[in-house]
Structures are given as structure tokens and as C-alpha cells.
Chain A
Amino acid sequence: MQTKLVTIIAVIVIIVIIGAVAFILYPKPTPTTPTTSPTPTPTGAPRTLVISHWGFAWSKIKKIVIEPFEKKYNVKVELVSGRTAERYAKLVEGAEPIPDVIFLPDYYMYRAAKKGLLEELDLSKIPNYNKLYKFIRDALSQSEVSKYGVPHTIQDVLLFYRSDLHKPVTSVKDLWRPEFKGYIALPGITTTTGPLFLVLVSIAYGGSVDNVEPGLKALEQLKDGIVTFYLRSADLMSLFERGEIHIAPGLRYQIGALQGVNKTLGGVIRYVIPKEGSIFTLNLMAIPKNAKNKDLAYKLIDFWLSTEVQRKLGEAGVDAPINAEAKLPPEHYYNIEGVTKNPIYVKPEILASKLEKWIDEWKARIQA
């Protein structure tokens, strides 16, 4: 009995030691050296282009962008899909396959650029860039991330509300109307929408993009009227569907998600651009430094921004087009003409320096 016990313990100890040693010696993933010149391939054998994307609506994207692109340049596109944080973490770790084009929100792209993971872009290789709305190019140029990424779509904060039960909503201040008490959902502060909404409220109550104290003060007054904080679009949808809420701020792409619920409710959920302005963020495309097919990556980025692709993506409800020539009919929810009136960009530098503090304040004073 004694010897058996000793043997078992010895085996455990040996395995733990081997495990520990293996973990110490385990080679940390090192970024592969960037290939300076693209390897020439014989015609006929398609090259492979890896793109890192959320993967949402991929079947539509495939039809509109990927298949025509594959045909035009004789490439095979490979998708690495995943949520933002996941794919960002992979980029930082240098996980294989290394994407040639990566899609991320501007804040994450900025962090990646700060870590030196992204190629500085040569905009002359992206002729379609000049077709983007001027306000978007101007906004992005305020940020350092403009050197590394080009936008492919825009997300602005809107207000969704039940138009059958309430008078029209025009301002974010309408959330404070007594009738909405107990019928409000706000985005969680850790979502993309959360900080943008906080900025919106702050501007409405006399603050600014980097002074959110007035917003936090105002939201403290609202606290008792909040049903919950949502983390995903699906939550927002379900909250409206179950009649838990009558108003919620959200991003433009969520109109798409709300369409189904809206149909069952009889089209009563309306969305409105708050009169305080359109607080927006941009989703960017960039090329990682160690990408293997940089020439093709440039071609894909340019292709993605072309008028035809942008318009089709908008029409299909994938992304709001930001190519000024890719006009959608005025009634389409991805027509962003309304945003051009008073666009307010929250550049990644602001989030990088303030977000942590905002999250703490919000958690302590509002979401508690």
C-alpha cells in the first residue's frame, strides 16, 4: 500500500515537472519575418489571401466582394473569423495564419498600430480612398491610426424607440422624459456603443468628447429608470420584443437586427439621429506588418471601397457605405446622409487615454 502511494505521488510529481518544463521551454510564437517581395506565382495556380473579419453576413460578403475579387485577381480568399477581441489577441500573438487584411474597429486598430503590428499604408495604392465622404477622411486624419488603416464602414449612435406608445424622440435628453422611466435599456460600458453613448449624453448636458463628467452626472439621475444594460444586439432585440423597454440607444448596424422584431411588432420601432449630433466610430481595414501578400491586400482594400461593392454591401444590409458615390435610396437605413449634418468623431486616442477611467466611473456610479 505504502509503495503504491509513493509510486503514484512520484508519477504525479514527475508529470507536473515535465509539464512545467515543457511550458517554460515551449517556444513563444515569434512573428515571422515579413516577406519583402511577393513570391511570383505561375499563372493558373491561385494565390491565397487571408482576411481576418467578424464573419457576420459572410455569405452576402462572399457573393458581393470575395467571389468577384477572386475571379478578377486569380486569388483564393481564406477567412479567419471571430469577435473583435479574439482576432486582436491573435494578431498580437502572431497566430497563424497571419492575415493579409484585418478588419477591426478603429480603437483596436489604434492599439495594434501602437504595438507596431501594422504596415504603414501607401494611400496612392488605394485610389478609391478619395471617393470616401470628406467628413470621414477629415475625421480619421485627426487620429494617428489614419496612417495604418482605412475605414470600410461607419457606426453612429442612434436612438431606437416605440413610436406607437410615445411622442417622437428627437434628442438624447428625451431619455429623461418621465414616461420612459422604467422602460430604458442602455448599452453596457464595455460594448462599443457604451462609451459613444456616454459622449453623446455629455455633449447634450454641456460636456464634450473628452469631458464626460456632465454626462455621468445626468445618467446618475436616470439610474432608477434603467431596466438593464445590454451587451449584444440580440439582447436589445429581445428586450424590445418582450416589451421590457421602449427606448434604447444603439448603433446603426443594429437597425438591421431590429428589423425582424419590428416586423412582428408592426413596424413600431423607429430610429432617429439625436439632434445633439452623430457620434460615430469607424471600422477599419489594415495590413499587418508580417502579411505575406501585401500587393493583393492593397487590391482587396481598394476593391472593398469601390463604388459598386460599397453600394451592394449597403443594399444587402451588410455595412453602411462610406463611399460618397455609393448612394443608397433615402429611405434605406444604411443611407448616412443624415450623419453628414453634424458628425462627431470619437478618435481612438481619446478612448485609449480615457476609457479605463470611464469604465470605472460608469461601473461605480451607474451600472451598480
Chain B
Amino acid sequence: MTSYKPIKLFLFRKLREILPLFLIIPSIIFLTVFIVGSLVSLFFYVGDISRAFVKIVSRVDFQVAYLRTLRIALIVALITTVLAYPVAFYVLHMNYRARQIMKALIWLPVMINPIVRGYGWMIILGRHGLVNSLLLTLGIIKEPIKLLYTEVAMIFGLTELFFPFMFISLLSAMENISDETIMAAYSLGANTFKVFKDVVMPLSIKGYVFGVTIVVTGCSTAYTTPTLLGGPQNATLSMLLADYVAIFLDWRSACVIALIILATVLIVSEVASIIVKKR
């Protein structure tokens, strides 16, 4: 190193400053061209969407689908919260090896195609499915109840679909809390519940907001699972969008719906983070 002349060192320093810029350029290009660019090009392709916007928003089937999508997304977010927080907290207390195994087990379903999982739920929730047979044998019900092709089935399927995402984002946030903090809380006499409520939860709230954003985004854009488990009578925004793209060939309306989904998801995640910041 000492053999470098000052001029060379100067050049290296310049390079050190410039190099990172070059390294991030590919990702910037990717983001702008394919994501921002495609959004921008959408407007050039479909032209003025204001009239299509009014038309779509005033349609009853859109309003119903919008409320249904939002309702299901929020319910699923709530259920995954209730389910994932304790599980993540429990896994956090495991040793390293057990924790890795648990992570792998919980993450495993994500690697299975949603279509397969959708059909799995159809078998479980169907008229002659697991749930109905069980309830019938136990004598709780006299006739099979309708579970499949309802919103309940959609909520089941989506909860299963997005639980791992919520779990992972919570766990990573919790893992960032230093062990000393938690130990300090215990040594000062807090019980597990108090540690969870006063230490872990506030410190993992950022991961939680991230998880909620993923779940709400995922539920609002999911197509396969709601179609298989809810059917056209429980149409969500993605199903409506698919109709406009593939059946009516009405790009303008499809574009309007896509933008509305995007706006809704942005608003929900923004609201979630505002609530968190206030606390």
C-alpha cells in the first residue's frame, strides 16, 4: 500500500466513491424501467382513464368486490397477527438449531403451489370433506354445512397462504432485539407476558407493520386461492381485474382496478405505519 503514489491514491478514492453508484445502477434501471416505467407506460397505452374510473367506481359489482377484498384482507391480517405473534415469540425462545427447523417447517407450505393448496382446502372444507365428516360423526351438525365457496373458505385459504410471511417478518424483527434487553427485563422481575407486552412487542412493531403490509398486499392481489375457494359469486378485485383483462378485453377498466388496488394497499400500509409511529 505504501508504494502507491498520491495521485493513484486520489484516483482510488474517487473510484471508491463512484463504484457504488455503478453497482446500484442495474437495480435502479430494473426498478424504473420495469416498475415505474410500466406504470407510466400504462397511462400512455390506455390514455385518459378518468371516464373509465367513474364508470368502474359507480358499478355495484365493483363496490361489492372492493369492500369484500378489503374486509378479507383486514380479517386475514388480524388472524395472522393473533396466530403469528405467539408462535414467533415462542420460536424466539428456542435454541438456534430448533429455531432453524421451525422456520423451515413454517416456510415449507410457501414452496407448494397455491393451486395445489387450494385444492387441498377444497377437500378439507367440501361437502364430504374433513371438517363436515368430523362434525357429522361427532353429532354437532345434522347436515353438511356450506363452507366451501364462501368468504370463510377464502379467509381460511388466505390465512394459510400468508401466515408464514407474517411469522417471518415478526421473527426477524424479534431477532434484532438484543438478548441482553430481554434478559434484563426478566432479571428485573418481568414475567414472560410482561416481557412480550412491554419489550418484545414495541420493539418488533416495525416488523409487524411490514408483515401487515405483505399480508394486505398479498390478499388484495391473490387470484388463485380466492377463485378456487370463493368462486365467482365471491368476486374479489383481482377476479374482477382478470375478467376485464381476459374476457372483456377492456384494458382501460383493468388498469383502473389495478391502480385502485395499488392505491388501497399503499394507503393501508401508510395508515399502519402512522399508527405505529404515534405509539
Contact = CB atoms under 8 A, between A and B. Distances in A.
A88 B249 contact: yes
Interface in B25-40: 25, 28-29, 32-33, 36-37, 40
Interface residues of A, number: 34
Given A227-B149, A229-B232, A364-B61, A85 B41 contact: no
Contact of A20 (B44, B148, B249): B44
B2 interface: no
B49 interface: no
Chain A to chain B: the 5 pairs with minimum beta-carbon distance, closest first:
A228-B231, A19-B37, A228-B149, A15-B32, A23-B41
A364 B247 contact: no
B127 interface: yes
Nearest to B240: A363
Contacts of B149: 227-228
Interface residues of B, number: 34
A45 interface: no
B243 interface: yes
Given A86-B246, A229-B232, A231-B232, A244 B33 contact: no
Interface of A: 4, 7-8, 11-12, 15-16, 19-20, 23-24, 83, 85-86, 88-89, 92, 182, 188, 190, 226-229, 231, 238, 242-244, 360, 363-364, 367-368
A268 to B, nearest CB: 15
Dominant secondary structure of chain B at its interface with chain A: helix
A315 to B, nearest CB: 32
Contacts of B232: 188, 190, 228-229, 231, 367
B12 interface: no
Contacts of A243: 126-128
Contacts of B227: 231
A327 B148 CA distance: 43
16 contacts: A4-B21, A8-B21, A8-B24, A16-B36, A16-B37, A19-B33, A19-B37, A23-B44, A23-B45, A188-B232, A228-B149, A228-B231, A243-B126, A244-B127, A360-B59, A368-B233
B44 A24 contact: yes
